[in-house]
Amino acid sequence: MNNRQPHIIQEGSVQYRLGELKGNNISYDFKKILIYLDAKGKLLFGKKFKIYQEDEVILYKLCIYFIRDFEACKK
């Protein structure tokens, strides 16, 4: 992970921008995070890997926890 741009992840030759850096804050985009998670899942587990729509709620909750979005966690 790039310490200067933690919202950008490089996987081989592909770059995934998970959000936008604004000052000292990163505004993450959950849809972009899902794209990255799907691509990473396919790299690790094969082309049949799939994120099911019914799993997106729990993935969203895990993502807001990991990015420390305490306001979203309270909701």
Count the Cβ atoms, other than its own, within 10 Å of residue 8: 15
69 occurs within a structural domain: yes
47 occurs within a structural domain: yes
- The whole-number pLDDT of residue 69 equals 79
- The whole-number pLDDT of residue 53 equals 94
Q: Give the domain range for residue 44.
A: 8-74
Taking residues 18-32, what's their average pLDDT?
A: 89
3 occurs within a structural domain: no
Mean pLDDT of the chain: 88
2 occurs within a structural domain: no
pLDDT of 66 strictly over 90: no
- The whole-number pLDDT of residue 3 equals 55
Look at the chain and report how many structural domains it folds into. Answer: 1
The CA dihedral of 36, 39, 44, 45, to the nearest 10 degrees, is: 130
The answer to whether the pTM exceeds 0.85 is: no
